[in-house]
C-alpha cells in the first residue's frame, strides 16, 4: 500500500501511509487507538475506500471497492467479533455465500472434501458438524481462519486475535500461524500486545496519529523501542516502576461485602455460584479469568443491573437481599460507580452527543437539573473539563459518542464514573478498563485507579488481561465456572499460578456465554 | 465496525437527499398520471394552484396540515422512545370523543374561555388513556405495541360508532351524529381571528388549532431535547440497556412515551371536533393517524421535518380535491397514489440514493482539492 490517505470528517485517520509486506511472512501492525491501523486494514479489505494512494497485491495494482473484491484478490479477514451464524454447523458457516451447488447435500460433500484437505494441511482442528454455538471460542476462531482460507485467502488479516483466548489457546494459535506461514500464507496481525509481536512476527509496522513511525524487521528492534514508538515517549508499565504503594491494612473498613451470590440464567445454567467477597478501603481487588466465567454477572449483580436469586450485599451501611436488591440509582446514591465491560451497549448511548453520554446516570443530580429541565450548558462545560483531564480526543463535547475511538470512549466513561460525583466514589467497579485502549492511556487510567484507592476508595477490576491484573491488584480472585476458584495475594501471583486456576476445570467458557 | 458505512455531510443528508427523493416520487407519479391519459405537468400545476394559489386553498391546506402535525408528532415522540405507535388513528378518535363528551356535558354551563381548554384537556386525556393500555401491556407483559395499537384502532372506531348510534345520537335526526355543541364549544376560525385584526380572510376550516399545533411543535422539541424526561425517553429509545444502567426505569419510560404520544394524537380531535364540526360524528379522523406515520417518517421524527412534511401532505389533500373538481378523469384516489409514492421514495427508500451521492460528493471534493 503506497501513500494511503483517509479522512473521516475532521479526523485524518491515515496520512501518506506506506505498508510493504513480504510474501509468506507474519507482519505485525501496532498502534494506539486512533493510530489508524484498523482503518488501514479496513481499506485493504474493502470496507472503506482510500481518499488517495494505491494498493498492489502480489505486484499487480489492485482496485478494492468492497470485500468481494478483496476476497477475489486472495485477502481474508478474521475479525475480533466473529462473523458466524451460531445456529448453523461449522461446515454450513464456511459454505455460506460460497455454495458450490444448489443442491445442499451435494454442496456439503464438496465443501467437506475441500475443508478436510485444508484441515489436514494446516492442522486447524475444527469439528465440522457441530453447531457453532457449541464450539469453544478458540475453535470458532480456527473456523474463521478456515473460512478465509477456503475462499482462497493468501493474505490473512487477523484483528486482535488473542483478545478472547487463554494463554494455552494463544500458544495453539501461534503454532497454527507459523504453520500457515510455512505454507506461504502472508499474515497481517493487528494487535496491542507487544510481547506477541516480538514472539511471532517477522516484521512490524508501528503507526501513530495516522502515520507510520516505525517499520522494521523484528530482529532489529525490541519491546521498549516498540512501546516508545507507539506512544512517542518512554512508557512505564508494571509494578516495578510504580512508587511502592502500601497494601491496605487488614483492618481497613469494609466498603462492600457480598455473600453467597448465586444466579442461574433462563436456561438454568448457574452463572454465579456462592460468590463471596469483601472490598476494603484502599485496596484494588482484581478478578482474573477467561471472559464468560461469571465476571460480567458478578459486576452486574453488584451494581444493581442483575438481581441474584441468592446472596446478600452490604454497601454503605445498607443490606440488600434478593427480595429488595440494589438498583443502579441507589448504587450511585451510595457512591458506588460502575464502568461496564460493554461500553457500546451499556456505558454510552452511541447516537447521543458526548455531553449527553457524559452525564448518563447523573442526569438527575441537582447540578444538572433545574426543575424538569437539563442544564445543558453546565453539562457541556463539565464534559469539556472531563475531556481535558482525561485526554479524550477530539475535545468536542458536541461530537456523537459513536464517532470517538474505543479508547477515547473508555476514557470518557471512566472520567464520568471517577469524577462526576460531588465526591469521588467509594467503590468503583470496573470491567475491562483498558480493552481497546492505547498504552499511553492505559498508564493514565491505571494511575487514576490507584489514586482513587489512595483516597480511601476501593476498586474491583475485572480484566481478561493478566498483565493488567498483575500491575494493579493487591489481591487477585480467579473466577471459573461462576465460582471463585481461588484467591491469591499479589506477592504469590504469577502467570503460571493464575493460569492454572483459570484453566482448571473449564479451559473453555460455558457455551453461549458471551 | 460497520461495512459500507455511508458518510454523508449533514446538508446532503437533510436537504439534497429528501428533495431528490421527492422529485423521483413526482416523476413516477407523473408516469402514472400520464398512463391514465392525463397531462402530468397540468396536474402538478393545478395541484399547486389548488393548494397554495388562493387564500381558500391555503386555509384548507393548513387545516389538513394541522391534523397531520399532531399525528406526526405523536408517532415521532413514541419513536424516540423506541416504540412504533401505529395507534394514532384510534387515539385521535378517542381524543375527539373526549373533547366531544366534555362539550356535551359542559357546553350549556361553561363559557367558551373555560370550556375550550377543558375540551383540549379532555382530548389529550382520552388519547393518553387509549395509548396507556397498550403501553402497559408492552411494559409489563411484553405484548408488542405494533399489534395492540392496531387492534385498539378498531376498538376505538367501534366504540365511537356504538356511542353515536345508541347514546349520543340527536333525537329526531337522520344522520348518525351527536347534537351540535353550541357556539361556545367551537374554536375560533382563522377568518374570525384575522377579522378581529382587521384582515379579510375567507371562511375555511382553518381554526385556532393551528396555533396549538405550532405550540405543540415547540413543546415537543423542548421536552425531547432540553428536559430530563426527554433525555430519559431518548436514552431508552436508543439504548435500553444503557438507560437501565443509567438508573432509568424502562417500564416507566414505555408508559410515558406512549402516553405523551397518545395525548398528541388526541389533539387531532381538537382540530376536527372542536375546530370544525362542533358535533361528534363517525370517522372524522379519516386516515390521518396513518398519514401521521408517513409524515413522521419523512420528517425524520423531528418537529421541523414534521411541519414540512405535514404541509406537503396537506397540499396534496387540498390540491387533490381541487384537481378532482377541475379535471375530469382525475379521481381523489390519485392523491393517495402520490402519497404512497412519496412515502415509498422519501421514507422507505430514502437511503437508496445515498451511496450515489456519497460517491458524487467524494469525487467533487477530491477534484476540488486537487484543482486547488
- For the stretch B64-80, pLDDT in tens is 999 999 999 999 999 99
Q: How confident is the model at residue A222 (pLDDT cuts 50, 70, 90)?
A: confident
A125 with A98: CB under 8 angstroms? no
Q: Between residues A58 and B8, which one has the greater pLDDT?
A: A58
How would DSSP label each residue in B92-143? HHHHHHHHHHHHHHHTTTS-HHHHHHHHHHHHHHHHHHHHHHHHHIIIII--
pLDDT beyond 90 at B330 = no
pLDDT beyond 90 at A424 = no
Residues 6+ apart with CB under 8 A from A465: A434, A435
List the beta bridge partners of residue A426.
none
pLDDT beyond 90 at A188 = yes
Helix, strand, coil distribution of chain A in percent, nearest 5: 35, 25, 40
Strands (DSSP E) contained in A100-226 are: 155-159, 186-190, 203-208, 211-217
- Residue A469's H or E segment, with its range, is helix A466-472
Residues 6+ apart with CB under 8 A from A160: A80, A190, A191, A192
Q: Which residues of B fall below an 8 Å CB-CB distance to A? A: 1, 3-5, 7, 226-229, 231-232, 234-235, 238-239, 241-247, 362, 366
Interchain contact A283–B (C-beta under 8 A): no
pLDDT in tens, B93-134: 999 999 999 999 998 899 989 999 999 999 999 999 999 999
pLDDT beyond 90 at B243 = yes
A205 with A28: CB under 8 angstroms? yes
- Position A32 scores a pLDDT of 65
pLDDT in tens, A96-119: 887 888 888 888 888 889 888 888
Separation between Cα atoms, residue A38 and residue A329, nearest integer Å: 37
Mean pLDDT of A425-446: 83
Model pTM above 0.90: no
Residue A378, SS3?
helix
- Residue A16's H or E segment, with its range, is strand A11-17
Return the residue in B2, B225, B231 with the most chain A beta carbons within 10 A, the one to mutate for interface testing: B231
Nearest partner of A75 among A3, A4, A18, A1, judged by Cα: A1
C-alpha cell at B131: 395509548
**Residues in chain B, overall count:** 372
pLDDT in tens, A116-144: 888 888 878 888 888 988 887 778 888 99
Residues 6+ apart with CB under 8 A from B10: none
C-alpha cell at B204: 375555511
Mean pLDDT of A329-337: 91
- Position B372 scores a pLDDT of 40
Give the Å distances, CA to CA, from A162 to A141, A165, A167, A170. 10, 5, 9, 6
Separation between Cα atoms, residue A336 and residue A255, nearest integer Å: 10
Q: Between residues B138 and A2, which one has the greater pLDDT?
A: B138
Separation between Cα atoms, residue A135 and residue A127, nearest integer Å: 8
Nearest partner of A306 among A316, A296, A319, A314, judged by Cα: A296
- Position A509 scores a pLDDT of 37
Residue A264, SS3?
strand
pLDDT beyond 70 at A208 = yes
pLDDT beyond 90 at B235 = yes
62-91 of A, contacting B, C-beta below 8 A: 66-67, 79
> Helices B228-238 and B55-80 sit at what angle, rounded to 10 degrees?
70
- Position B6 scores a pLDDT of 58
Q: Between residues B302 and A249, which one has the greater pLDDT?
A: B302
Mean pLDDT (chain B) is 88
Note whether B241 contacts A345, CB cutoff 8 Å.
Answer: yes
Separation between Cα atoms, residue A41 and residue A76, nearest integer Å: 11
Give the Å distances, CA to CA, from B190 to A451, B163, B277. 67, 31, 15
Cα angle B311, B313, B318; round to 5? 90
Taking contacts as CB-CB distances below 8 angstroms, the residues of chain A near B366 are: 51-52
**Residues in chain A, overall count:** 514
Nearest partner of A88 among A125, A143, A148, A142, judged by Cα: A143
- Position A231 scores a pLDDT of 63
Give the Å distances, CA to CA, from B225 to A369, B83, B243. 13, 18, 16
- Position A249 scores a pLDDT of 63
Q: How far is A259 from chain B (nearest CA, A)?
A: 23
Return the residue in A296, A357, A360 with the most chain B beta carbons within 10 A, the one to mutate for interface testing: A360
Mean pLDDT (chain A) is 83
Return the top range by mean pLDDT from A211-215, A300-304, A483-487: A300-304
Q: Where are the alpha helices (DSSP H) in chain B?
A: 10-11, 17-35, 40-52, 55-80, 88-106, 112-136, 145-163, 190-196, 209-226, 228-238, 240-245, 250-269, 288-298, 303-326, 333-342, 354-371
pLDDT beyond 50 at A330 = yes
pLDDT beyond 90 at A313 = yes
Amino acid at each position: 500500500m503506497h501513500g494511503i490517505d483517509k479522512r473521516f470528517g475532521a479526523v485524518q485517520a491515515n496520512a501518506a501511509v506506506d505498508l510493504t509486506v513480504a510474501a509468506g511472512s507474519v507482519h505485525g501492525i501496532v498502534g494506539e487507538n486512533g493510530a489508524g491501523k484498523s482503518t488501514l486494514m479496513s481499506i485493504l479489505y474493502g470496507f472503506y475506500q482510500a481518499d488517495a494512494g494505491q494498493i498492489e497485491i502480489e505486484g499487480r495494482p489492485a482496485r478494492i471497492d468492497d470485500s468481494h473484491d478483496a476476497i477475489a484478490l486472495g485477502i481474508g479477514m478474521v475479525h475480533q467479533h466473529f462473523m458466524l451464524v451460531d445456529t448453523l454447523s461449522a461446515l454450513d458457516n464456511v459454505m455460506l455465500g460460497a455454495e458450490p451447488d444448489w443442491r445442499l447435500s451435494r454442496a456439503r460433500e464438496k465443501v467437506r472434501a475441500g475443508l478436510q484437505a485444508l484441515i489436514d494441511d494446516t492442522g486447524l482442528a475444527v469439528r465440522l458438524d457441530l453447531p457453532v454455538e457449541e464450539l469453544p471460542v478458540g475453535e470458532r476462531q480456527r473456523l474463521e481462519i478456515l473460512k478465509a482460507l477456503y475462499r482462497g485467502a493468501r493474505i490473512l488479516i487477523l484483528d486482535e486475535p488473542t483478545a478472547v483466548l487463554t494463554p494455552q489457546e494463544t500458544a495453539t494459535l501461534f503454532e497454527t500461524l507459523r504453520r500457515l506461514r510455512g505454507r506461504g500464507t502472508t499474515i497481517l496481525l493487528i494487535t496491542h500486545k507487544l510481547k506477541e509481536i516480538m514472539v511471532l512476527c517477522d516484521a512490524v509496522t508501528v503507526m501513530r496519529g495516522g502515520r507510520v513511525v516505525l517499520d522494521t524487521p523484528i530482529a532489529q528492534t525490541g519491546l521498549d523501542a516498540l512501546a516508545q514508538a507507539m506512544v512517542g515517549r518512554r512508557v512505564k508499565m508494571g509494578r516495578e516502576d510504580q512508587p511502592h504503594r502500601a497494601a491496605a491494612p487488614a483492618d481497613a473498613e469494609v466498603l462492600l461485602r457480598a455473600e453467597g451470590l448465586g444466579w442461574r440464567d433462563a436456561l438454568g445454567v448457574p452463572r454465579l455460584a456462592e460468590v463471596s467477597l469483601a472490598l476494603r478501603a484502599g485496596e484494588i481487588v482484581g478478578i482474573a479469568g477467561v471472559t464468560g466465567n461469571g465476571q460480567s454477572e458478578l459486576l452486574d449483580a453488584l451494581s444493581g443491573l442483575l438481581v441474584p436469586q441468592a446472596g446478600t450485599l452490604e454497601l454503605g451501611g445498607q443490606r440488600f437481599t434478593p427480595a429488595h436488591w440494589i438498583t443502579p440509582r441507589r448504587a450511585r446514591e451510595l457512591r458506588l460507580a460502575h464502568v461496564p465491560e460493554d461500553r457500546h451497549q451499556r456505558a454510552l448511548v452511541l447516537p447521543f452527543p458526548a455531553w449527553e453520554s457524559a452525564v448518563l446516570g447523573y442526569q438527575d443530580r441537582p447540578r444538572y437539573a433545574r426543575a424538569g429541565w437539563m442544564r445543558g450548558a453546565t453539562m457541556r462545560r463539565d464534559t469539556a473539563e472531563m475531556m481535558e483531564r482525561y485526554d479524550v480526543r477530539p475535545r468536542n463535547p458536541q461530537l456523537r459518542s459513536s464517532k470517538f475511538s474505543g479508547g477515547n470512549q473508555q476514557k470518557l466513561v471512566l472520567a464520568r464514573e471517577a469524577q462526576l460525583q460531588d465526591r469521588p466514589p467509594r467503590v468503583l467497579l470496573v470491567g475491562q478498563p483498558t480493552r481497546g485502549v492505547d498504552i499511553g492511556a492505559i498508564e493514565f487510567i491505571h494511575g487514576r485507579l490507584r489514586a482513587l484507592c489512595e483516597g480511601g476508595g476501593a476498586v474491583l477490576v475485572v480484566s481478561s488481561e493478566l498483565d493488567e491484573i498483575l500491575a494493579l491488584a493487591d489481591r487477585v480472585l480467579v473466577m471459573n465456572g461462576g465460582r471463585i476458584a481461588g484467591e491469591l495475594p499479589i506477592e504469590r501471583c504469577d502467570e503460571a499460578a493464575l493460569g492454572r486456576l483459570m484453566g482448571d476445570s473449564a479451559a473453555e467458557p460455558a457455551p453461549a456465554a458471551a | 465496525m460497520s461495512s459500507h458505512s455511508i458518510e454523508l455531510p449533514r446538508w446532503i443528508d437533510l436537504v439534497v437527499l429528501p428533495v431528490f427523493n421527492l422529485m423521483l416520487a413526482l416523476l413516477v407519479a407523473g408516469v402514472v398520471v400520464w398512463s391514465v391519459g392525463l397531462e402530468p405537468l397540468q396536474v402538478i400545476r393545478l395541484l399547486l394552484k389548488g393548494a397554495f394559489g388562493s387564500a381558500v386553498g391555503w386555509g384548507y391546506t393548513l387545516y389538513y396540515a394541522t391534523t397531520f402535525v399532531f399525528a406526526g408528532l405523536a408517532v415521532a415522540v413514541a419513536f424516540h422512545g423506541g416504540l412504533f405507535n401505529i395507534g394514532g388513528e384510534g387515539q385521535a378518535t378517542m381524543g375527539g370523543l373526549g373533547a366531544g363528551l366534555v362539550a356535551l356535558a359542559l357546553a350549556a354551563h361553561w363559557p367558551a374561555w373555560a370550556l375550550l381548554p377543558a375540551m383540549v384537556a379532555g382530548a389529550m386525556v382520552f388519547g393518553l388513556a387509549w395509548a396507556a393500555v397498550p403501553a402497559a401491556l408492552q411494559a409489563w407483559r411484553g405484548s408488542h405495541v405494533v399489534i395492540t395499537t392496531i387492534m385498539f384502532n378498531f376498538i376505538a372506531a367501534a366504540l365511537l360508532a356504538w356511542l353515536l348510534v345508541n347514546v349520543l345520537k340527536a333525537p329526531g335526526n337522520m344522520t348518525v351524529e351527536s347534537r351540535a355543541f353550541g357556539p361556545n364549544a367551537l374554536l375560533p376560525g382563522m377568518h374570525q381571528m384575522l377579522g378581529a385584526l382587521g384582515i379579510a380572510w375567507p371562511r375555511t376550516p382553518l381554526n385556532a388549532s393551528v396555533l396549538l399545533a405550532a405550540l405543540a411543535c415547540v413543546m415537543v422539541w423542548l421536552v425531547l431535547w432540553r428536559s430530563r424526561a426527554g433525555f430519559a425517553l431518548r436514552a431508552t429509545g436508543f439504548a435500553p440497556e444503557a438507560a437501565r444502567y443509567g438508573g432509568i426505569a424502562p417500564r416507566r419510560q414505555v408508559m410515558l412515551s406512549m402516553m405523551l404520544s397518545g395525548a398528541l394524537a388526541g389533539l387531532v380531535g381538537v382540530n376536527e371536533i372542536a375546530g370544525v364540526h362542533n358535533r361528534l360524528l363517525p370517522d372524522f379522523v379519516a386516515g390521518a393517524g396513518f398519514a401521521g406515520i408517513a409524515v413522521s417518517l419523512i420528517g425524520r421524527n423531528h418537529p421541523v421535518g414534521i411541519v414540512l412534511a405535514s404541509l406537503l401532505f396537506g397540499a396534496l389533500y387540498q390540491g387533490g380535491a381541487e384537481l378532482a373538481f377541475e379535471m375530469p378523469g382525475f379521481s381523489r384516489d390519485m392523491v393517495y397514489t402520490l402519497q404512497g409514492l412519496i412515502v415509498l421514495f422519501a421514507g422507505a427508500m430514502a437511503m437508496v440514493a445515498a451511496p450515489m451521492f456519497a460517491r458524487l460528493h467524494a469525487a467533487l471534493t477530491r477534484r476540488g482539492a486537487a484543482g486547488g
